[in-house]
Amino acid sequence: MAKDKKAVVAIAKEPTVQESVTKVFDLLGGVTNMIKRGETVILKPNAGHAEGPDTAVCTSPETLRAVIREVKKAQPSRIIVAESAAIGCDTMECFEVSGQADVAREEGVELYDIKAEKDLVNVAVRGYKSNIKRCKIPRLLLEADHIINLPIMKAHASMVFSCALKNIKGTVQDQVHSQMHQQNLTMAMMDVWWAVRPDINIVDAINVASGYSPHTPTPLEVGIIMGSYDPVALDLIACDVVGIDTNQVDYFRAADEAGLGTTNRDKIEVVGEQVKDVYRKMWIPYLGNMADRWPEYDIRCEGACSSCQALLALNMETLKALGIYEENSDKTIVVGPRNTIPDKPKDKIILHGNCTKRFADKGMWIPGCPPGETGLYLTVKTGQVVDGEIPGCIENIIRPSMEADHPKWRAYVEQKAKEFYENPENQ
């Protein structure tokens, strides 16, 4: 982008999804100017979990169809819908359950499971910021003429929210995915972005997943499609639309440092609808004052990133939902790098995340940056460190516990969502 040129973020709210998608492409220059006849176009929706369209966890089939039809106007030679679902999830199953597979078949475009690809290129990441110096990316993605990033806007337990930038995490296979969680997920996301370099971003914000998404989402109708060449500006404006305080989300600082786009509102031009006209406050329980939110507990979270704070919220509320909050309130929970620990038995101190590792011999240390989403509550509940990297832990502890705990948790979340949406602006 030229120095004085503003990043354009387009917002459309038309009577149909198709009209909104077309409007966004038009506001960004028109699909036939963006894509040339005979080119190869990869569409990267979010199909990370096996969740149906009613949950708003995956890009909606309707939005995917609208983008395919818009792209077809440019007469590309191939349109490929590509995804690598979350660790432990089967991509093809996610395509089916999300409704995207039906759309691909009906529209005559290819479905592509990145996890199953053998033809990978080990790309060097320029100026890498995490431990990802090289990253294996399918040759198909690297050689495509265009990658259209097609996320859905949603709350996210380990990143506060998920939109354009985070969606590209779904272009790597499980091994890189797992590596991304072990050091610094935010910076690793930036590194993967540099390696993959999508050129167009279209956000599905027709229905967004609020609340304790992605595993216990509360859908909310916002009714818009957004688009931009700049993923950071797009994420920033998407947050403005749903009332997320971007100052509380560390990822924007990291994206700024990594030079992936602009976080300066003076350098962003919103075209089409304006934020104030489409604003709809979303319930996003992953933000707020974490130190005082659970006064019955000794919570130490000085210096914690927003990712670990979001996980703290998810896990503390899960303890409440399961009715095991009070009985464990003798525990100290340490999150973030700038904390001291009390003189207590080892099983009374839970250390959450890599930056508490220096105390590992004095408490129950859960590794990860950030750790797995449910590691904290399951460690409290079971009295042993629960970490998906421990062999057998996912199959024997994490999955069965989450399944058993889900009904109580779901009921708790529904009640909280009802309370929030009765008066969203007062929260």
- Asked if 364 is part of the footprint of ligand SF4 (rule: CB under 6 A), the reply reads no
Distance CA 366, CA 369 (A): 10
3-state helix, strand, coil in the chain (%, to 5): 45, 20, 35
- Asked if 353 is part of the footprint of ligand SF4 (rule: CB under 6 A), the reply reads yes
Cβ distance 321 to 409 under 8 Å?
A: yes
Distance CA 63, CA 226 (A): 11
Task: Report the site for ligand SF4 in 302-321 (rule: CB under 6 A).
Answer: 304-305, 307-308
- Asked if 222 is part of the footprint of ligand SF4 (rule: CB under 6 A), the reply reads no
Contact string 277-306 vs ligand SF4 (x = CB under 6 A): ---------------------------xx-
CB closer to ligand SF4 out of 73 and 338: 338
Which tokens in the block code for residue 257?
């440092």
Contact with ligand SF4 (CB under 6 A): which of 336, 363, 372, 388? 336
Give which of 280, 301, 400, 401 is closest to 352, Cα–Cα: 301
Which tokens in the block code for residue 392?
């057998």
CB closer to ligand SF4 out of 224 and 290: 290
Stretch that binds ligand SF4, among 127-135, 146-154, 262-270, 347-355 (CB under 6 A): 347-355
CB closer to ligand SF4 out of 253 and 267: 253
Smallest gap from residue 370 Cβ to ligand SF4 (A): 4
CB closer to ligand SF4 out of 86 and 92: 86
Smallest gap from residue 403 Cβ to ligand SF4 (A): 26
Task: Report the site for ligand SF4 in 34-73 (rule: CB under 6 A).
Answer: none
Contact with ligand SF4 (CB under 6 A): which of 67, 355, 397, 417? 355
Distance CA 316, CA 308 (A): 12
CB closer to ligand SF4 out of 234 and 335: 335
- Asked if 132 is part of the footprint of ligand SF4 (rule: CB under 6 A), the reply reads no
Distance CA 400, CA 396 (A): 7
Amino acid at 106: E
CB closer to ligand SF4 out of 251 and 297: 251
Distance CA 87, CA 181 (A): 11
Phi, psi (5° rounding) for residue 33?
A: -85, -25
Cα 372 from chain centroid (whole Å)? 14
- Asked if 369 is part of the footprint of ligand SF4 (rule: CB under 6 A), the reply reads yes
Task: Report the site for ligand SF4 in 135-194 (rule: CB under 6 A).
Answer: 184
Q: What angle do CA 214, 218, 221 make, to 5 degrees?
A: 115
Distance CA 297, CA 319 (A): 12
CB closer to ligand SF4 out of 53 and 367: 367
Crossing angle of helices 100-107/61-72, nearest 10°?
A: 30
Stretch that binds ligand SF4, among 258-266, 281-289, 350-358, 405-413 (CB under 6 A): 350-358
- Asked if 370 is part of the footprint of ligand SF4 (rule: CB under 6 A), the reply reads yes
Classify residue 273 as exposed, middle or buried by CB count within 10 Å of its CB (0-12, 13-18, 19+). Answer: buried
Smallest gap from residue 199 Cβ to ligand SF4 (A): 29
Q: How many CB atoms neighbour CB 241 within 10 A?
A: 27
Which tokens in the block code for residue 413?
């979340």
Number of residues that bind ligand SF4 (CB under 6 A): 12
Distance CA 346, CA 91 (A): 40
Beta strand pairing call for 216-228 and 200-212: antiparallel
Distance CA 408, CA 426 (A): 27
CB closer to ligand SF4 out of 149 and 246: 246
CB closer to ligand SF4 out of 149 and 309: 309
Smallest gap from residue 170 Cβ to ligand SF4 (A): 20
- Asked if 372 is part of the footprint of ligand SF4 (rule: CB under 6 A), the reply reads no
Residue whose Cβ sits closest to ligand SF4: 353
**Binding region for ligand SF4 (CB under 6 A):** 184, 304-305, 307-308, 336-337, 353-355, 369-370
